[in-house]
């Protein structure tokens, strides 16, 4: 899109104080931002809502309201339509997925346009469904860090707890792409089907099955080599019992039990590793590796489209409420075209 055809204003959703979606989210027009040095302007097609976007709006664990006006959401996909100084013009027209859009900056992806540092707009084949591209960001980067921080996982057994969550779904797909055997836990038959479609070899319903017993039986009592953990404190007794010697728990959330007691000697005597995963603060080399692997995966393999629902941007409140309800199975997207 030539710069002359970029409008002066855009549709966007925003909030100016923290609180429930129906009380604080607004929708209307805002000026289209202008790219500064090293920025690109992306015409977004879709924005993806993640739990961290909800937590930021709600002030989870004392998170401050960091800017006077915030356009929520960090992930999205679209095309680059303008570039700032020091960004090559060859990037114009690129299909991209964006991440960290609202991390330490006020204007995220819940809008028709976003200005973002060029490094946060990752090229992707124009043939990739932009709903899938918009869903990569936080889930795929978190899953990659959890899976690959401690070496190759080929021929290893990986357990993904919450296998029907956004991170869990990406973790299943990336682990299978890397040659691992994948086990997953879920809470319903519907979610089990999604985990199987993503590529899980075995899926266990923790509501109806003795998961510890089933996993140990499936691994000949050796246990699993890696655990991608969505509920660290709540699941700790069970995950420790199925983690193999020298195994790794990579924990990216612990909402229900945020300050668990750590059984030091249980970990130490088996030389097990506990890794914390916070994708917003990856080292440059780890981020580069993750972006390379994710790009290779998504451009060469047709990912399973794990989409719960797509909402037009005027219905941003309903979209946020859908994710917060706990009923969504898959990613909740906002359509911005």
Q: Is residue 291 part of a domain?
A: no
The length of the chain, given as a count of residues: 337
CATH number at residue 32: 3.90.180.10
Query: What is the predicted pLDDT for the residue at 1?
Result: 43
Residue 8 and residue 32 in one domain: yes
Q: How many CA atoms lie within 13 A of 261 on its CB side?
A: 4
Residue 227 and residue 125 in one domain: no
| Structural domains in the chain (count) | 2
Mean pLDDT on 259-274 = 96
Q: Is residue 298 part of a domain?
A: no
Residue 269 and residue 149 in one domain: yes
Q: Which domain-ending residue is among 280, 298, 317?
A: 280
Q: Is residue 43 part of a domain?
A: yes
Q: Is residue 285 part of a domain?
A: no
Query: What is the predicted pLDDT for the residue at 64?
Result: 94
Nearest to 44 by CA among 80, 18, 94, 9: 80
Neighbours of 271 (CB within 10 A): 9
Residue 191 and residue 90 in one domain: no
Residue 10 and residue 103 in one domain: yes
Q: Which domain-ending residue is among 263, 280, 297?
A: 280
Q: Report the number of secondary-structure helices (H) and strands (E) in the chain.
A: 11, 15
The tens digit of pLDDT for each residue in 295-314 reads 999 988 989 988 999 999 99
Q: Is residue 180 part of a domain?
A: yes
Residue 258 and residue 166 in one domain: yes
pLDDT band at 337 (very low <50, low <70, confident <90, very high): confident
Query: Residue 187 in contact with residue 231, Cβ under 8 Å?
Result: no
Residue 113 and residue 156 in one domain: no
Residue 222 and residue 125 in one domain: no
Query: Residue 149 in contact with residue 286, Cβ under 8 Å?
Result: yes
Residue 116 and residue 144 in one domain: no
The tens digit of pLDDT for each residue in 112-149 reads 999 999 999 999 999 999 999 999 999 999 999 999 99
Query: Residue 99 in contact with residue 118, Cβ under 8 Å?
Result: no
Nearest to 324 by CA among 146, 3, 57: 57
The tens digit of pLDDT for each residue in 30-54 reads 999 999 999 999 999 999 999 999 9
Q: Is residue 320 part of a domain?
A: yes
Mean pLDDT on 310-335 = 96
Average pLDDT, the chain: 96
Buried b (16+ CB within 10 A) or exposed e, 28-53: eebebbebeeebbbbbbbbbbbbbbb
- Tell me: pLDDT of 2 over 50: no
Distance between CA atoms of residues 209 and 207, nearest Å: 6
Q: Is residue 22 part of a domain?
A: yes
- Tell me: pLDDT of 3 over 80: no
Q: Is residue 287 part of a domain?
A: no
Backbone angles phi, psi at 52, to 5 degrees: -65, -30
Residue 224 and residue 325 in one domain: no
Query: Residue 120 in contact with residue 97, Cβ under 8 Å?
Result: no
Domain containing 171 equals: 139-280
Residue 91 and residue 144 in one domain: no
Residue 9 and residue 130 in one domain: yes
């Amino acid at each position: 899109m030539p710069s002359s055809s970029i409008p002066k204003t855009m549709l966007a959703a925003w909030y100016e104080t923290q609180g429930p979606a129906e009380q604080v989210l607004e929708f209307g027009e805002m000026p289209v931002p202008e790219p500064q040095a090293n920025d690109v302007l992306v015409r977004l097609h879709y924005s993806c809502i993640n739990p961290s976007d909800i937590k930021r709006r709600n002030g989870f664990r004392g998170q401050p309201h960091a800017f006077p006006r915030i356009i929520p959401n960090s992930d999205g996909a679209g095309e680059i339509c303008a570039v700032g100084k020091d960004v090559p013009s060859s990037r114009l027209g690129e299909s991209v997925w964006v991440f960290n859009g609202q991390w330490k900056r006020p204007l995220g992806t819940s809008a028709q346009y976003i200005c973002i540092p060029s490094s946060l707009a990752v090229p992707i084949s124009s043939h990739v469904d932009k709903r899938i591209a918009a869903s990569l960001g936080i889930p795929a980067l978190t899953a990659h860090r959890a899976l690959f921080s401690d070496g190759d996982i080929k021929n290893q057994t990986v357990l993904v707890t919450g296998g029907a969550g956004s991170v869990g779904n990406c973790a299943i797909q990336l682990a299978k792409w890397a040659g691992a055997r994948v086990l997953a836990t879920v809470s319903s038959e519907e979610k089990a089907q999604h985990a199987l479609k993503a590529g899980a070899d075995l899926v266990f319903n923790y509501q109806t099955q003795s998961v510890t017993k089933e996993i140990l039986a499936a691994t000949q009592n050796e246990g699993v080599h890696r655990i991608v953990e969505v509920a660290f404190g709540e699941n700790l007794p069970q995950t420790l019992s199925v983690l193999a010697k020298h195994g790794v728990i990579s924990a990216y959330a612990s909402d229900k039990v945020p300050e668990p007691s750590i059984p030091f000697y249980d970990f130490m005597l088996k030389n097990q590793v506990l890794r914390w995963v916070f994708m917003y603060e990856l080292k440059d080399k780890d981020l580069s590796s993750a972006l390379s692997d994710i790009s290779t995966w998504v451009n060469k393999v047709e990912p399973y489209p794990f989409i719960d629902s797509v909402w037009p941007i005027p219905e941003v409140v309903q979209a946020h409420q859908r994710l917060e309800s706990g009923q969504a199975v898959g990613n909740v997207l906002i359509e911005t075209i």
